Structure 1
């Protein structure tokens, strides 16, 4: 006879289903997936703690890597492409990837391999925000620089916007 309080499926099986559902939505880094798998699940009566052990989580992560559902290099490439399409610069993208648990070496390799023209992207963002002839007055140029720095562009890319116009 079975105990009525025990779950019908093992914690590992439920954890694996949860991981696949999470990864079906979008790619995640290993650190993100671990955090989400360890977090309580929202049930009908509020958050419910998972009975999964750290070993269960490790096993699920390992299975996801082996099945190619989880790939930090692919995640990094897709994240760089996504964030650059949204107008963010390389410094901000590096910082966000670092927060997501991607190793600095992997970040630098992916940034090197990506074919993004950061100067062109910075120009596009500045023109979208401040208009086609970029300002020439110092006070207005400072606003453009501050905006682009906050978006994560490097100072040399920002300065190239103002020097290349006169060449």
Structure 2
């Protein structure tokens, strides 16, 4: 491991948390050898300066605060950040986030009249928005104005 590779990785981590996958990609972009990358990551993890578990917990809280649901966050962590499914599931079990409350806040912000009776077109719009933001139907369906979910299937 070169001092340059280690310094580069520490410099990245001094700004924010990164997943192992993100650091690996950034180091590959800078043309560090695979051996340098492996050695650097091993040393960072040994010193507990880089932890996918800690990154996952922080990312989960940050995205939930921004109004995203569990499905969207899980997808981002797995596909974009390279986090193992086991790590994601473990972090989700340990977190104390009330997804229904977040869904209600998102509904109130995006659709202020969500409690009023909605026609089918508006209901579909609300459902699409909420599902695309990663919420389960159980998190928001009861809050939307009169009607049943059967209208959409």
Higher helix share: 2
Distance 1:103 1:68 in 2: 18
> What's 1:32 paired with?
22
Q: Which residue, out of 5, 17, 28, partners 2:7?
A: 17
Cα separation, 1, equivalents of 2:143 and 2:60: 22
2:90 aligns with: 109
Once the two structures are superposed, what CA deviation does each residue of 1:17-47 show, in whole Å capped at 9, x if it has no partner? 110111111111111110111113xxxxxxx
Output the CA distance in 2 between the equivalents of 1:112 and 1:79: 14
2:130 is aligned to: 148
Q: Is the 8 A contact 2:114 2:144 kept in 1?
A: no
Which residue does 2:150 correspond to in 1? none
How many Å separate the matches in 2 of 1:68 and 1:103?
Answer: 18
Q: TM-score, normalised by structure 1?
A: 0.80
- Flag the structure with larger Rg: 1
* Number of equivalences: 144
Aligned to 1:160: 142
**8 Å CA contact retained: 2:18, 2:55:** yes
- For the pair 1:58 / 2:48, whether they are aligned, the reply is no
2:73 to 89, 93, 116: 93
For the 8 Å contact 1:135–1:141, the answer to whether it is kept is no
Counterpart of 2:151? none
